[in-house]
Amino acid sequence: MSDLDFEEDSEVDSFEIDHIVSSFKVSKLEQISSLKWFEKSVNISKLYRVAAAESLLEPLPAVERVKESLMTHSKFDHMVRELITAFIWKDNVLKRLLEVKPEPKVAFPTYMVLYYEVMVHGIVQAMIYHGDTFNYLRETSDDLVEYCVLRLRKLLRPLKYISNGSLQNMDDDPIGGIKNQNRYIDFNIGSQCIATLRYVCENLDSLPLSVSTRIYSTHDLPVLITQLLHQKVWTKVEEGKTYKFNETDWQELRPDDPPLTKMECQVWLLLRQLMLNTSNNSCYHYSDYRKEQLTKLIKYLNDRVLDQLSVLVDLQRMLHFLHVRAPSESDKTVHNPLIVEITPLFQDQLVQQYSEKWKELAISSSKVLFYCDKDTTMTLAKAFSSSITSLLNTNGELHTCNYCMKRAANRCSQCKRTWYCSRSCQVQHWKVHKNSCSTEA
C-alpha cells in the first residue's frame, strides 16, 4: 500500500483549520498530482467547504475561521499564488498529459487536479467578498486580476458547451471524459471570475495603483466585458431551444423567465462598476473604438431589463451621454496617467522557470494520474468521492439575491426557489418574480 493517508470526511474544527493554514505552502508544479499533493487537495476541500458555508451565514459569524486564519498567518497571497499555479499546470501540462501513451484506464485522479482550481478560487472569492481583506492582498492583487482576465479571454473562444448531465457515463473514454470535464470547469470558473473581478473593482481604492492600470489600460476590461455580452457567451441555441447558463449549469429558457439570469446580472453589474468607478474618470479615455463598442450595449438595456435590475439606469444614462458626446481633442491623444512600475507577475515567473519542462512534468504526472497501482487507485477514489461531494454540496448551498446579487440566505416562501438577501429586495423584485412564482410553485 502507498504511504498516502486520507482521513474520513468530518466536521472541521478551528484547530484543524489553523493547522492546515499555518502549514500551507504554495505548490511547485512538479508536486501537483504527487501522492502528498493529493493529501493537500483534501485539506483544501475542507477549507473551501468551511469558507463558503460561513460566508453564507446571515448574520455573519463573529469570526469567519478560514478568513481569520489566513489573515493571522499571512497566507492570503499564498492562496492566490496557489490558484495561479493550478491554472498554469492545467494550461501547460494537461494538454501534454493527454498526449501520453498508452491512454489511461481511469480518469478520476485527473478530475481531482481539475477541480482543485475550482476549490482554491472558491476560497479566494469567499475571502475577497469582504473589502477589508484586500489590505492583506497587496502583493498578489495584480496577479489575481491577470488570472481572472485570462480566464475571461478563454470564454471568447469558440466553445463546445458542456452541460453537467453530459459529463456522466464517460467511463469508456477516459481521455474524452477528462477533456469534457476540463471544458466544463473552464467555463464555470471563467464565469465565476466575473464576480471576483466585481469585488476587486469595488475595492480599487484599497489596492495599488497598478491594479487600475492593469484593468483599464493593459486589458481594457470594459471593452472585454462588452465583447462577452455581444457574443452572448451565456446563451446557446440547440435544436430550436434556447438555453441560458445560470448558477453552474445550462437551463432551458422559459417564456415567463426574467430577461437576465443571475449570471448575466453579475456581468452587467461588473460593467456598471467599471464604468461608474471614480478611477474611470482619470484613467479611461474614450477612443472612437471604445465608444463604438460600449454604446452598442444601449439596445440591450430595455425596460424589462431595467425593471429587473434598476441600478443599471445609471449605466444606461452614461452610455447615452457617451453616444451623443462630441469628440474632443483629448480623445485623439494617447492617455496613460497611471504609468507605474509594475512588478513581474508570479505567473510569468512560473512560465519562464518551467518553459522547457512541460513535457517532462506531463510524463511524471502520468505515473500517478494514469498508471498508479490498484491500492493507490482505490485510496484516490475515496478521496475524490469525499472532495467532489463536498464541492457539489457547497456549490448547491451558495445563493445570491435575485434583485441586488448580494449573498442571500432567505427564499420566497411560495415557490421555494428564488432567493433574496432581505425583505426589501423581495418587495422590489416582486413585479418581475410574480409572473413565474405561481408557475414554479
pLDDT tens digits, 249-263: 888 998 888 999 989
Residue of 26, 25, 78, 96 lying closest to 355 (CA atoms): 96
Sign of the Cα torsion 389, 390, 395, 399 reads: positive
Whether residue 400 is predicted with pLDDT greater than 70 in this model: the reply is no
202 or 380, higher pLDDT: 202
Whether residue 62 is predicted with pLDDT greater than 60 in this model: the reply is yes
Whether residue 279 is predicted with pLDDT greater than 80 in this model: the reply is no
pLDDT tens digits, 328-366: 655 545 455 444 545 578 999 999 999 999 999 999 999
- The amino acid at residue 64 is E
User: Cell 478563454, residue?
Assistant: 154
- pLDDT on residue 11: 73
Residue of 369, 384, 391, 377 lying closest to 164 (CA atoms): 391
pLDDT tens digits, 78-137: 999 999 999 999 999 999 999 888 778 778 889 889 999 999 999 999 888 877 888 888
63 or 342, higher pLDDT: 63
pLDDT tens digits, 291-309: 999 999 999 999 999 999 9
Distance, CA of 63 to CA of 282 (rounded, Å): 38
Alpha-helical segments (H) within 231-345: 262-276, 278-283, 288-295, 303-308, 312-324
Whether residue 311 is predicted with pLDDT greater than 80 in this model: the reply is yes
The 3-state DSSP class for residue 416 equals coil
